[in-house]
Amino acid sequence: MNAELQINRGRLLDRLDRLAEIGAIEDGGCCRLALSDEDRAGRDLLVSWMRELGMVVRIDAIGNVVGIRAGLENVMPVMTGSHIDTVRTGGRYDGNLGVLAGLEIVAVLNEAGLVTRRPLAVAFFSNEEGARFAPDMMGSLVYAGGLALEDALATVGIDGSSVGDNLQRIGYAGDAPCGWLRPHAFLELHVEQGPVLEREGFDIGAVEGVQGISWSEFTITGMSNHAGTTPMSMRHDAGYVAAATGTFLRELVKETGPSQLATLGHLQLAPNLVNVIPNRALFTVDLRNIDEAALQQAEQRLFAFVETLAAVEGVTVNHRLLARFEPVAFDRELVGRVEAAARAQGYRVRRLPSGAGHDAQMMARLAPTAMIFVPSVGGISHNVREYTAPEHLEAGANLLLNLLLELAA
Amino acid sequence: MNAELQINRGRLLDRLDRLAEIGAIEDGGCCRLALSDEDRAGRDLLVSWMRELGMVVRIDAIGNVVGIRAGLENVMPVMTGSHIDTVRTGGRYDGNLGVLAGLEIVAVLNEAGLVTRRPLAVAFFSNEEGARFAPDMMGSLVYAGGLALEDALATVGIDGSSVGDNLQRIGYAGDAPCGWLRPHAFLELHVEQGPVLEREGFDIGAVEGVQGISWSEFTITGMSNHAGTTPMSMRHDAGYVAAATGTFLRELVKETGPSQLATLGHLQLAPNLVNVIPNRALFTVDLRNIDEAALQQAEQRLFAFVETLAAVEGVTVNHRLLARFEPVAFDRELVGRVEAAARAQGYRVRRLPSGAGHDAQMMARLAPTAMIFVPSVGGISHNVREYTAPEHLEAGANLLLNLLLELAA
């Protein structure tokens, strides 16, 4: 432990501000969609900062950028990092904090003239948000070997252009093989993006893992007919099945238990007219649970509900799984270290799962991994109103500093 | 009664076919949106037929067209008619049948050399469907004095142009004052647009009245947040309120009674993403009942449900009444005549309410009014698959012929 070493809050905030100027939108928000011109400008700024800090910068074939600060020994490095791409109406902390805290820590060590035994690596991964190209967490997924490079490069985004072409265009199709640097441990600092820490008065979250995710798309096909002339008993109302499913989700959550989340976020009716019984309803259900068995139970209950209701209503169901990730459990020992170090530094800390996906869950395939969360005011995320108080940004970065020193010793 | 007079089925079908060629779409359907070029072509054809039949044609300021066949006396005419505009994916019977049956009856009387005591008038009213300009039944509503002409002319449609400009463009801004010709009685023949007659094996419906209609638009405003990080208890989910309302409608129908209909036909969520809790839901509810007190009860139950649920969910509700028509009861004696004449002609007849709106409900403000329904196969309406068997078209037209002769005697 190096209790005397502290990050420089002002410098960290300044870097957050300067990065947020790139792709700035209203109310302090950011729009730096992955592999856009704004993303390139953000990348260029970060690479210049890495070089100013004396780091060796390598870029891999999917555009992940890793800056390395040499250690005393040529062994596997301790790695930290996150992402700097944003959603269309993003804030300035999501992702950026984890990367810039890494650079701040390197700056502190440089000033202190302290060289760790293991090298330190600070990474930012391509297209974590998935707002332009699906899937999200693409760069870390390819890094961890979970998605073939050629498939990732061929991915076509919402504007019709491919990942590969955009990487070439912005000059970030690097020459390093993906996954070239296997870390000794990976630790990611991130804003919570949820309300739990703030609501319960904690400074730090020791993230135990990432919830499993199940995304379903249901297409219900019934029969369109006149709302004024069709008796209720003769209807085959696709919209009713969608509505009843949305209502059922609250019941499902009660049945499955308190760790279950369920959301109907997307719904489209056709013909979508006030006086026509819908013949088609397309809707999605997002189910999340930290427990895989419970998540499977929720899925089965949901599918059975929709099928049964559709049979009664006389409509057909087409079901498609849009995404399915099992829960990821972070390294038990490392999570314990995060919790213990936070407590030792005097922070109010609690363990919690992450509801959102993170690059760390991909890196967990390669190395012992954990995450540090700091509070998000109001739990507001993917929104220009995203906010984390400076003292919490500082707390998270100081905790990361101490843990990296511990792990690199 | 003139039991020996019969309409000419082949000629009626031929006119239906020839009108359906104008604005023809796939599978025998029609698209003649009100005041479009196709509507103009259909109008021109009908006016030419009226003139061929020796009728005097007058066009009023909202584009309603009335053809008159003189009677023995210069008294109030007996009027029949309907509309020839269609929805975007309309059939060939809705509206058209009522107008063309009127012309067929004039043709039969011309051939028989029979002149009625009262004049006969055959009308087609502008923009009954409301598919391009709201409200629907516009022409007959203006005719009956329920909507000011200048307001109707100023109405802007889905393509941004006004009723007045389009009437000028297609040459149907006539010089007759709206409502210039007050009928002695009004009788409209129309396809049922519902499944009741076919399902129960009737040839003719004696329409007792038109259901009351209540169209509500609800805008629910909650808070958008991350589907993975927001505990269920902290959500303000606008989409949930919409879904629960859609589910509640079935319960509402059970409570209010068998004549109640309820439909959630239009729904839009924002931001409408799989992993974001909707912060906004805009949806419509279409309530119909033949009984005004029951309709009011259903409205009150619905509004109370949405308000209470919104308060519990912590979202706000904005409610707007899009349309509200009280039920219309047709003339008791005239409905009785329709039923009696149908029975006398050997048709299986039942009384029933109309679920859809019709020009007749506006004309009921001016004169004793009733309607004759013929079966719609499968109850399919506003759809290219709309179909009524030739024997039912003929039955309806023959019944109309007999009733017009009775009324004009």
- Position A1 pLDDT exceeds 70: no
Of the candidates A406, A273, A113, A181, the one whose C-alpha atom is nearest the C-alpha of residue B264 is A273
pLDDT band at residue A3 using 50, 70 and 90 as cut-offs: low
Instruction: Provide the residue type at B393 as one letter.
Output: L
Query: In chain A, whose CA is at the least distance from the CA of B213?
Result: A228
Q: Is residue A298 part of a domain?
A: yes
> Is A230 close to B261, i.e. CB distance below 8 A?
yes
> What gap in Å lies between CA B279 and CA A386, rounded to an integer?
16
* Pair (A166, A275) in one structural domain: no
Biggest CA–CA distance in chain A, Å, is 82
d(CA A67, CA B37): 67
Could you tell me which chain B residue has the CA closest to the CA of A278?
B265
Contact B231 A195 (CB under 8 A): yes
Considering CB atoms only, which of A243, A266, A277 is closest to B274? A266
Same domain, B43 and B155: yes
**Is residue B205 in a domain?**
no
- CB pair distance less than 8 Å for B274 and A215: yes
Chain A residue closest in CA terms to B245: A243
pLDDT per residue over B204-252, tens digit each?
Answer: 999 999 999 999 999 999 998 889 989 999 999 999 999 999 999 999 9
Q: Is the pLDDT of residue B303 over 60?
A: yes
Whether residue A169 is found in the same domain as residue A132: yes
How far apart CA B36 and CA B111 sit, in angstroms, is: 34
Tell me the one-letter amino acid at B91.
G
Clarify whether residues A317 and A335 are in a common domain: no
Contact A81, A139 (CB under 8 A): no
A349 domain residue, yes or no = yes
With CB atoms and an 8 Å threshold, state whether A246 touches B250. Answer: no
Q: Once rounded to an integer, what is the mean pLDDT over residues A42-64?
A: 98
pLDDT value at residue B1: 44
Closest to A234 (Cβ–Cβ): which among B195, B244, B266? B195
The mean pLDDT value for A63-92 works out to 96
Mean pLDDT, rounded, for A3-11: 91
Q: Which residue of B has its CA nearest to A247?
A: B244
Inter-chain contact A245–B250, Cβ cutoff 8 Å?
A: no
Mean pLDDT of B62-89: 96
The pLDDT tens digits for B9-50 are 999 999 999 999 999 998 899 999 999 999 999 999 999 999
Last residue within a domain, chosen from B298, B325, B352: B325
With an 8 Å Cβ cutoff, are A239 and B250 in contact?
Answer: no
pLDDT score of A46 more than 80? yes
Mean pLDDT estimate for chain A: 96
Those residues with Cβ within 8 angstroms of residue B292's Cβ, 6 or more apart along the chain or in another chain: B212, B326, B327
If one counts the domains in chain A, the total is: 2
CA B365 – CA B327 distance, rounded (Å):
12
| Residue B297 forms contact with A (CB below 8 Å) | no
Range 191-230 of B in CB contact (< 8 A) with A:
192-196, 199, 211, 213, 215, 217, 224-230
Query: Smallest Cα–Cα separation from B170: which of B44, B64, B293?
Result: B44
Q: Is residue B206 one of the residues assigned to a domain?
A: no
Domain limit, last residue, from A325, A352, A373? A325
Give the mutation candidate from B158, B225, B229 for the A interface (greatest A CB count, under 10 A). Answer: B229
Least CB-CB distance to A284: which of B215, B268, B274?
A: B274
Q: What is the mean pLDDT of residues A21-36?
A: 95
Q: How many CB atoms lie within 10 A of CB B228?
A: 22
Domain interval for residue B371: 9-199+331-408
Contact yes or no for B130/B137 (Cβ under 8 A): yes
pLDDT in tens, B240-276: 999 999 999 999 999 998 899 999 999 999 999 888 8
Do A86 and A193 meet the contact criterion of CB atoms below 8 Å apart? Answer: no
Does position A87 have pLDDT exceeding 70, yes or no? yes
Whether B307 and B351 map to the same domain: the answer is: no
Considering the domain architecture, whether residues A151 and A28 belong to the same structural domain is answered as yes
Is the CB of B265 less than 8 angstroms away from the CB of A273? yes
Q: Are residues B172 and B65 in contact, defined by beta-carbon separation less than 8 angstroms?
A: yes
Q: Is B383 an interface residue toward A (CB < 8 Å)?
A: yes
Locus of tokens 């099992």:
A326
The verdict on B146 touching A (C-beta cutoff 8 Å) is: no
Q: Cβ contact (<8 Å) for A232 and B253?
A: yes
| Interatomic CA distance for residues A197 and A203, integer angstroms | 7
Interface test with A, best of B237, B275, B374 (most A CBs within 10 A): B275
B187: left (phi over 0), alpha (psi -120 to 50) or beta: beta
Q: How many CB atoms lie within 10 A of CB B211?
A: 27
Best of B197, B219, B240, B274 to substitute, by most chain A Cβ atoms within 10 angstroms, is B274
Contacts 24+ apart (CB under 8 A), B398-401: B398/B6, B398/B7, B398/B345, B399/B189, B399/B204, B399/B338, B399/B341, B399/B342, B399/B345, B399/B347, B399/B372, B400/B80, B400/B101, B400/B102, B400/B105, B400/B187, B400/B189, B400/B372, B401/B5, B401/B6, B401/B7, B401/B105, B401/B108
- Pair B104, B210: CB distance under 8 Å: no
Q: What crossing angle do the helices spanning B163-170 and B37-52 adopt, rounded to 10°?
A: 50
Q: Could you say which of A199, A253, A274 has the minimum Cβ distance to residue B286?
A: A274
- A4 occurs within a structural domain: no
Q: Does the structure show a pLDDT above 90 at A382?
A: no
User: Which of A268, A273, A355 comes nearest B229 by C-beta?
Assistant: A355
Contacts of B382 in chain A (CB under 8 A): 226, 276
Q: Which of B272, B238, B281, B233 is nearest to A194 (CA)?
A: B233
CA distance B50 to B62: 19
Q: Are residues A168 and A249 in the same domain?
A: no
Q: Do B272 and A267 touch (CB under 8 A)?
A: yes
Per DSSP, the three-state class of A136 is coil
Confidence of residue A257 (pLDDT cuts 50, 70, 90): confident
Whether residues B384 and B252 fall in one domain:
no
3-class SS string, A311-372: HHHCCEEEEEEEEEECCEECCHHHHHHHHHHHHHCCCCEEEEEECCCCHHHHHCCCCCEEEE
* Contact between chains at B230 and A355 (C-beta distance less than 8 A): yes
Taking CB atoms and an 8 Å cutoff, what residues of chain A touch B266?
A: 269, 272-274
Residue type, B118: R
For residue A230, give the nearest of B194, B227, B278 by CB distance.
B194
Inter-chain touch A356–B244, beta carbons under 8 Å: no
Q: How many CB atoms neighbour CB A182 within 10 A?
A: 14
Domain boundary residue, one of B293, B325, B357: B325
3-state secondary structure (DSSP) of residue B129: coil
* Candidates A190, A223, A229, A235, partner chain B, best to mutate (most B CBs within 10 A): A229
Which residues are CB-neighbours of A146 under 8 A, at least 6 positions away? A362, A365
- Is A205 found in the same domain as A85? yes
Name every residue whose Cβ is closer than 8 Å to that of residue A173 and which is 6 or more positions away in sequence: A61, A63, A164, A167
B343-382 residues touching A, CB cutoff 8 A: 354-357, 379-382
CA distance A334 to A17: 31
Mean pLDDT of B337-349: 97
Helix axes A37-52, A163-170, angle to 10 degrees: 50
Task: Compute the distance between CA of residue B139 and CA of residue B133 in angstroms, rounded to an integer.
Answer: 11
Which CATH number covers residue B156? Answer: 3.40.630.10
Would you call B229 and A193 a contact, using CB atoms and an 8 Å cutoff? Answer: yes
- For residue A2, pLDDT over 90 is answered with no
- Identify which of B205, B216, B253 has the alpha carbon closest to the alpha carbon of residue B354: B205
Task: Give the mean pLDDT of A156-175.
Answer: 96
Contacts of A21 (CB under 8 A, 6+ apart): none
Question: Does B204 fall in a domain?
Answer: no
Q: What is the average pLDDT across A229-238?
A: 93
A45 pLDDT exceeds 60?
yes
Considering the domain architecture, whether residues A263 and A337 belong to the same structural domain is answered as: no
Please list every residue in chain A whose beta carbon sits closer than 8 Å to the beta carbon of residue B263. 227, 237, 275-277
User: What CATH number has the domain bearing residue B252?
Assistant: 3.30.70.360
Determine phi and psi for B297, rounding to 5 degrees: -65, -45
Share of chain B above pLDDT 90, in %: 90
Residue A2 lies in a domain: no
Task: Please state, for a pLDDT cut of 70, what percent of chain B lies above it.
Answer: 99
pTM: 0.82
Cα–Cα–Cα angle for B70, B52, B87, rounded to 5 degrees: 95
Query: Do B30 and B159 reside in the same domain of the chain?
Result: yes
Contact A23, A64 (CB under 8 A): no
pLDDT for A389: 98
Minimum CA–CA partner of A353 in chain B: B229
Q: Got the DSSP string for A229-274?
A: TS-GGG---HHHHHHHHHHHHHHHHHHH-TT-EEE---EEEES--T
Please answer yes or no on whether B267 and A239 come within 8 Å at the CB atom: yes
Judgement on whether residues B247 and B336 belong to the same structural domain of the protein: no
* SS3 category, A197: helix
Q: What is the ipTM score, two decimals?
A: 0.82
> Tokens 């870029």 appear where?
A59
In a domain, A1, yes or no: no
What is the pLDDT, as a whole number, of residue A398? Answer: 98
Task: For residue range A285-333, list pLDDT tens digits in order.
Answer: 999 999 999 999 999 999 999 999 999 999 999 999 988 989 999 999 9
